[in-house]
């Protein structure tokens, strides 16, 4: 089989049993990789209602046909499980070197089941698999863990995916890292891994997959690599990373500020990518095989604190969440908060939004100094943020409340606290203010993982029919999807819902093929959608098309929805927090709120267009159309 | 009249597609936004927000001497 090894590794941590499964090509053509392979196994093998920390939950890592090939943006993998944060579909995608190295071990996916009796790590070395006791690394921080493992295994070229003490202590928003600074950030997958007493997955391999047409792949690769120094999107992305978004989003009134009250932050320039570049940026870093080099590496030393460059620098989401949203205008504080979260293995967005929820509770008198262990937990107090983060992974004092996440913490505090918890399905909102781009509101509400900014393209690019030669991505780039007309940002009409669906399928595809969104349409017009078809054909020889790629994406949307429906989620869980139906207090969209009724109608229309019922359950016909007959039986006949 | 153009964020790095990187633009009195955009090579169908004093301007809004105009690019996920 071209592009794949045709092998899926199954490891039972309770019994120590290791199996290798060999699905046929039709499985791979239907489920492809990443999100869809993960969702397939979760639905087939994890019964409804299981405890995310229980023995029956599974943690799946999957890659795709593109992982490890000679092309920028391909070294990414998905981690999938039932989320302890939302109780629904849990998913993260991460880059680095680990994904490509995992593929070289000779497997396309890894299914982890059961719970080890003792802390352990998994060592996969060119097809050989061992479960190794991990007493010597349990409780240690990621940098030290990597050093110990390299020495213990006598191999400096291993790649490590691991959890921090946040995951070991089952903090429900704990994450998993690849190579210290790339993260399966959201939905608490690190806690699932910790519940299995699995500290790390170490990979080392030399196996390559065969390609159908290496020359065609080289053409796609060359086209991309030429763009790195000429396409303005990649020039900016390489220079400033995702942090390039801070000042434009603030100027555009869509940078979350003061716990999602406002959309513009006076201190935006002080926490921008430009400021990072001037002050603490040490160098760029990159994922395996990628020419873009967009990752930040930062370093800082002072009497107050040091920032260890090993853990990378803050991305935009972290800057917005710990910065403008907390009224912090010091990039060094944000970078330190980022480093601490990365060391402890905590999702930066959920950590920050839980702390800002607590700040609101403190300032409104719902929490006292006694409750916060003496921390003056006010917006703008950077030291308070760092003190809070320190307490979370070990649930130390006030940290025990913070470790619940904003939704459960607010429930625990009681009173008006719930209005300060800005989440959907229990997952805290990322750094994009949707009151200035209503398509993002749909993305947040309808994401299977709770609020997630990477569920569909953001409106501002597609509000006009721009000349494709003058912008980073335009309507012209997404016309192959059948999208004809621009749609205003502040609209939830049927055209917006339709465009949202068409783009959501492509963003789902990105998670299925585990490709970097910054390398292709609809994020940047570097690789066009048809270039991606060419690349996949060059690898697999499948004679595929954009139609089939969109189908893979749509399949992913339905698989993930089905999981949530089976867990009891429906229309009520797709609603927005009340804060988003209140007017913005600052920025060019001051006074704008998302009309609740209009949003509800848009969601109902979305369901209808998707072929789902009025509570968002995928219809029998839709599932049969998507070649998911077994899922149709699961959802409709049981 | 003089209009001070500020390109926001990475636009100041990359410039607009005809090379304009910000600064003072001289226009006739009673000019409008579309006159300004024409002068700096921005199409009215480009997806930039044209902002003055935290308010979005439309193409036929009038400009005044010493106005500070921000040109804000779209930005999305990350």
Of A247, A253, A466, the CB nearest to B47: A466
Interface contact A149, partner B, CB < 8 A: no
Q: What is the mean pLDDT of residues A548-552?
A: 98
pLDDT for A242 beyond 90: yes
- Nearest CA to A107 among A23, A198, A199, A16? A23
Q: Residue A511's pLDDT is what?
A: 98
Across A478-501, b (16+ Cβ under 10 Å) vs e yields bebbebeebbebbbbeeebbbbbb
The C-alpha atoms of residue A517 and residue A202 are separated, in whole angstroms, by 26
What is the per-residue DSSP string for A440-491?
Answer: HHHHHHH-TTSS-TTSS--GGGGSS---TTTSSS-HHHHGGGT--S---SS-
What is the distance in angstroms between the Cα of A154 and the nearest Cα belonging to chain B?
A: 36
Q: Residue B78's pLDDT is what?
A: 60
Residues in chain B with CB shorter than 8 Å from the CB of A272 are 9
Q: List phi, psi (to 5°) of A219.
A: -60, -45
Q: Residue A638's pLDDT is what?
A: 58
Question: SS3 letters for A489-530?
Answer: CCCCCHHHHHHHHHHHHHHHHHHHCCCCHHHECCCCCCECHH
Assign A303 to helix, strand or coil: coil
The H or E element containing residue A188 is: none
Selected residues 419-438 of chain A with any CB under 8 Å from a CB in chain B: 432
Q: Number of Cβ pairs closer than 8 Å across A and B?
A: 101
Interface contact A592, partner B, CB < 8 A: no
Report the residue of B47, B49, B58 to disrupt the A interface, i.e. the one with the largest count of A CBs within 10 Å. Answer: B47
Assign A7 to helix, strand or coil: coil
The C-alpha atoms of residue A290 and residue A237 are separated, in whole angstroms, by 13
Q: Residue A230's pLDDT is what?
A: 86
pLDDT for A471 beyond 90: no
Q: What is the mean pLDDT of residues B44-72?
A: 93
Please report which confidence band the pLDDT of residue A503 belongs to, taking 50, 70 and 90 as the band edges: very high
Selected residues 8-37 of chain B with any CB under 8 Å from a CB in chain A: 8-11, 13-14, 17
Interface contact B49, partner A, CB < 8 A: yes
Tell me which residue has tokens 């944000």. A334
Q: Please state whether A397 falls in left (phi above 0), alpha (psi between -120 and 50) or beta.
A: left
pLDDT for B76 beyond 80: no
Write down the mean pLDDT value for chain A.
96
Q: What is the mean pLDDT of residues A253-258?
A: 97
> Cα–Cα distances in Å, from A446 out to A173, A557, A564?
20, 10, 11
Q: Residue A205's pLDDT is what?
A: 98
Of B72, B73, B76, the CB nearest to A458: B76
> Cα–Cα distances in Å, from A461 out to A8, A91, A247, B22?
39, 26, 17, 22
A546 token code pair: 């954009």
A629-636 and A34-45 helices cross at what angle (nearest 10)? 40
Interface contact B2, partner A, CB < 8 A: no
Interface contact A248, partner B, CB < 8 A: yes
Residues in chain A with CB shorter than 8 Å from the CB of B38 are none
The C-alpha atoms of residue A293 and residue A291 are separated, in whole angstroms, by 6
What is the distance in angstroms between the Cα of B36 and the nearest Cα belonging to chain A?
A: 17
The string of pLDDT tens digits covering residues A43-89 is 999 999 999 999 999 999 999 999 999 999 999 999 999 999 999 99
Residues in chain B with CB shorter than 8 Å from the CB of A292 are none
The H or E element containing residue A130 is: strand A128-133
Interface contact B72, partner A, CB < 8 A: yes
Instruction: Cis check for the bond before B55: say yes or no (omega within 30 of 0).
Output: no
Of B47, B70, B72, the CB nearest to A471: B47
Q: How many residues does chain A have?
A: 638
Please report which confidence band the pLDDT of residue A524 belongs to, taking 50, 70 and 90 as the band edges: confident
Residues in chain A with CB shorter than 8 Å from the CB of B46 are 464, 466-467, 470-471
Q: Residue B77's pLDDT is what?
A: 60
The C-alpha atoms of residue A559 and residue A635 are separated, in whole angstroms, by 11
Q: Terminus-to-terminus CA distance in chain A, angstroms?
A: 36
Residue of B nearest to A231 (CA): B14
Decide: A406 and A341 in contact? Cβ < 8 Å. Answer: no
Beta-carbon contacts of A420 under 8 Å, excluding residues fewer than 6 positions away, are: A259, A356, A357, A360, A361, A364, A406, A410
Q: What is the mean pLDDT of residues A374-399?
A: 98
The C-alpha atoms of residue A318 and residue A347 are separated, in whole angstroms, by 9
Residues in chain A with CB shorter than 8 Å from the CB of B43 are 466-467, 470
Q: Residue A461's pLDDT is what?
A: 87
Residues in chain A with CB shorter than 8 Å from the CB of B14 are 232, 235-236
Residues in chain A with CB shorter than 8 Å from the CB of B59 are none
Within 10 Å of residue B19's Cβ, how many Cβ atoms? Answer: 9
Q: Residue B19's pLDDT is what?
A: 79
Q: What is the DSSP letter of A245?
A: G
Interface contact A442, partner B, CB < 8 A: no
The C-alpha atoms of residue A4 and residue A67 are separated, in whole angstroms, by 9
- For residue A78, the cross-strand partners are A62, A93
pLDDT for A318 beyond 80: yes
- Nearest CA to A299 among A264, A331, A260? A331
Higher pLDDT: A455 or B32? It is B32
pLDDT for A246 beyond 90: yes
A427 token code pair: 């997952």
Please report which confidence band the pLDDT of residue A600 belongs to, taking 50, 70 and 90 as the band edges: very high
Please report which confidence band the pLDDT of residue A384 belongs to, taking 50, 70 and 90 as the band edges: very high
Contact B10 A239 (CB under 8 A): yes
What is the per-residue DSSP string for A539-595?
Answer: HH-----HHHHHHHHHHHHHHHHHHHHHTT--GGGGPPPGGGGSPP-SSTTTT----
Interface contact A460, partner B, CB < 8 A: yes
Q: Tell me whether strands A423-424 and A427-428 are parallel, antiparallel or unpaired.
A: antiparallel
The C-alpha atoms of residue A338 and residue A348 are separated, in whole angstroms, by 7
Q: What is the mean pLDDT of residues B41-63?
A: 91
pLDDT for A637 beyond 80: no
Of A240, A264, A458, the CB nearest to B10: A240
Q: What is the mean pLDDT of residues A6-26?
A: 98
Contact A264 B75 (CB under 8 A): no
Lowest mean pLDDT, pick from A69-83, A141-155, A246-260, A469-483:
A469-483
> Cα–Cα distances in Å, from A185 out to A4, A79, A92, A154, A177?
26, 10, 6, 29, 8
Residues in chain B with CB shorter than 8 Å from the CB of A247 are 8-9
Residue of B nearest to A294 (CA): B78
Decide: A345 and A177 in contact? Cβ < 8 Å. Answer: yes
Selected residues 204-233 of chain A with any CB under 8 Å from a CB in chain B: 232
Decide: A110 and A201 in contact? Cβ < 8 Å. Answer: yes
- Nearest CA to A514 among A497, A539, A496? A539
Helices H / strands E in chain A, number of each: 24, 18
Q: Residue A232's pLDDT is what?
A: 84
pLDDT for B47 beyond 90: no
Residue of A nearest to B6 (CA): A251
What is the distance in angstroms between the Cα of A32 and the nearest Cα belonging to chain B?
A: 24
Interface contact A482, partner B, CB < 8 A: no
Give the residue ranges of DSSP H helices in A53-164: 98-104, 142-152
Within 10 Å of residue A312's Cβ, how many Cβ atoms? Answer: 24
Interface contact A239, partner B, CB < 8 A: yes
What is the distance in angstroms between the Cα of A608 and the nearest Cα belonging to chain B?
A: 27
Beta-carbon contacts of A547 under 8 Å, excluding residues fewer than 6 positions away, are: none
CA B44 to chain centre: 11
CB burial class (10 A; 0-12, 13-18, 19+) of residue A517?
buried
Contact B54 A587 (CB under 8 A): yes
- The two most distant CA atoms of chain B are separated, in Å, by 42
B44 token code pair: 């009215």
Residues in chain A with CB shorter than 8 Å from the CB of B13 are 235-236, 239-240
**CA A61, A312, A281: angle at the middle one, nearest 5?**
150
Residues in chain B with CB shorter than 8 Å from the CB of A510 are none
The C-alpha atoms of residue A12 and residue A114 are separated, in whole angstroms, by 5
What is the per-residue DSSP string for chain B?
Answer: -EEEEEE-TTHHHH--TTS--SEEEE--TT-BHHHHHHHHT--TTS--EEEETTEEPPTT-B--TT-EEEEE------
Interface contact A277, partner B, CB < 8 A: no
The C-alpha atoms of residue A165 and residue A284 are separated, in whole angstroms, by 27
Residue of A nearest to B53 (CA): A588
CB burial class (10 A; 0-12, 13-18, 19+) of residue A229?
exposed
Residues in chain A with CB shorter than 8 Å from the CB of B22 are none
ipTM of this predicted complex?
A: 0.93
Q: What is the mean pLDDT of residues A183-202?
A: 98
Q: What is the mean pLDDT of residues A12-29?
A: 98
Q: What is the mean pLDDT of residues B44-67?
A: 92
The C-alpha atoms of residue A128 and residue A173 are separated, in whole angstroms, by 32
Q: Residue A426's pLDDT is what?
A: 98
Contact B54 A253 (CB under 8 A): yes
């Amino acid at each position: 089989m071209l592009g794949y090894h045709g092998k899926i590794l199954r490891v039972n941590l309770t019994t120590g049993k290791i199996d290798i499964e060999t699905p046929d090509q039709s499985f791979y053509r239907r489920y492809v990789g990443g999100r869809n392979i993960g969702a397939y196994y979760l639905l087939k093998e994890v019964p409804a209602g299981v405890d995310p920390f229980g023995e029956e939950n599974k943690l799946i890592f999957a890659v795709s046909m593109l992982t490890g090939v000679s092309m920028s943006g391909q070294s990414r993998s998905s981690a999938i499980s039932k989320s302890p944060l939302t109780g629904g579909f849990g998913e993260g995608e991460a880059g680095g070197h680990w994904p490509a190295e995992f593929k070289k071990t000779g497997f396309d996916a890894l299914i982890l089941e059961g719970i080890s009796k003792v802390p352990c790590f998994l060592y996969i070395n060119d097809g050989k698999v061992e479960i190794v006791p991990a007493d010597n690394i349990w409780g240690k921080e990621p940098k030290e863990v990597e050093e110990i493992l390299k020495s213990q295994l006598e191999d400096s070229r291993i790649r490590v995916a691991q959890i921090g003490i946040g995951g070991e202590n089952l903090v429900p928003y704990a994450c998993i890292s690849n190579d210290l600074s790339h993260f399966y950030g959201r939905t608490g997958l690190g806690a699932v891994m910790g519940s299995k007493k699995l500290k790390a997955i170490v990979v080392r391999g030399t196996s390559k997959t065969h390609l159908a047409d290496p020359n065609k792949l080289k053409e796609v690769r060359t086209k991309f690599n030429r763009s790195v120094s000429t396409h303005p999107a990649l020039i900016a992305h390489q220079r400033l990373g995702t942090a390039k978004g801070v000042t434009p989003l603030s100027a555009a009134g869509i940078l979350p500020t003061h716990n999602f009250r406002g959309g513009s932050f006076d201190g935006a320039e002080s926490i921008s990518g430009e400021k990072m570049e001037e002050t603490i940026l040490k160098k760029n870093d990159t994922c395996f095989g990628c020419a873009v080099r967009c990752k930040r590496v930062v370093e800082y030393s002072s009497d107050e604190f040091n920032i260890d460059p090993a853990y990378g620098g803050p991305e935009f989401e972290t800057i917005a969440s710990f910065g403008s949203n907390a009224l912090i205008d010091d990039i060094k504080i944000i970078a330190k908060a980022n480093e601490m979260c990365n060391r402890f293995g905590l999702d930066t967005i959920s950590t920050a939004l839980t702390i800002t929820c607590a700040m609101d509770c403190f300032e409104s008198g719902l929490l006292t100094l006694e409750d916060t262990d003496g921390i003056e937990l006010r917006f703008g107090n950077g030291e308070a943020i760092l003190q809070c983060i320190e307490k979370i992974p070990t649930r130390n004092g006030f940290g025990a409340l913070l470790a619940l996440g904003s939704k459960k913490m607010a429930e625990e505090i009681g009173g008006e606290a719930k209005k300060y918890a800005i989440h959907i399905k229990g997952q805290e909102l990322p750094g994009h203010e949707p009151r200035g781009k209503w398509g993002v509101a749909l993305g947040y509400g309808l994401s299977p993982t709770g609020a997630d900014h990477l569920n569909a393209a953001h409106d501002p690019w597609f509000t006009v029919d721009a000349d494709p030669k003058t912008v980073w991505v335009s309507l012209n780039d997404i016309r192959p999807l059948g999208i004809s007309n621009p749609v205003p940002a502040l609209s939830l009409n049927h055209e917006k819902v339709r465009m949202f669906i068409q783009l959501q399928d492509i963003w789902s595809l990105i998670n299925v093929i585990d490709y970097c969104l910054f390398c292709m349409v609809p994020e940047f017009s570097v690789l066009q959608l048809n270039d991606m078809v060419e690349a996949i054909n060059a690898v697999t020889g499948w004679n595929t098309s954009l139609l089939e790629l969109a189908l893979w994406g749509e399949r992913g949307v339905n698989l993930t929805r089905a999981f949530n429906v089976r867990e009891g989620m429906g229309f009520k869980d797709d609603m927005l927090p009340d804060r988003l139906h209140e007017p913005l207090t600052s920025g060019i969209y001051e006074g704008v709120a998302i009309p609740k009724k209009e949003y509800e109608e848009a969601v109902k229309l979305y369901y209808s267009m998707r072929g789902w019922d009025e509570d968002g359950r995928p219809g029998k016909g839709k599932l049969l159309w998507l070649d998911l007959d077994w899922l149709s039986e699961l959802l409709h006949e049981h | 009249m003089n209009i001070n153009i500020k390109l926001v964020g990475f636009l100041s790095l990359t410039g607009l597609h005809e090379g304009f990187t910000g600064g003072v633009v001289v226009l006739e009195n009673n000019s409008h936004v579309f006159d300004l955009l024409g002068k700096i090579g921005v199409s009215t169908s480009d997806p930039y927000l044209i902002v003055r004093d935290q308010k979005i301007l439309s193409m036929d809004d009038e400009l005044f001497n010493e106005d500070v105009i921000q040109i804000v690019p779209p930005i999305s996920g990350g």
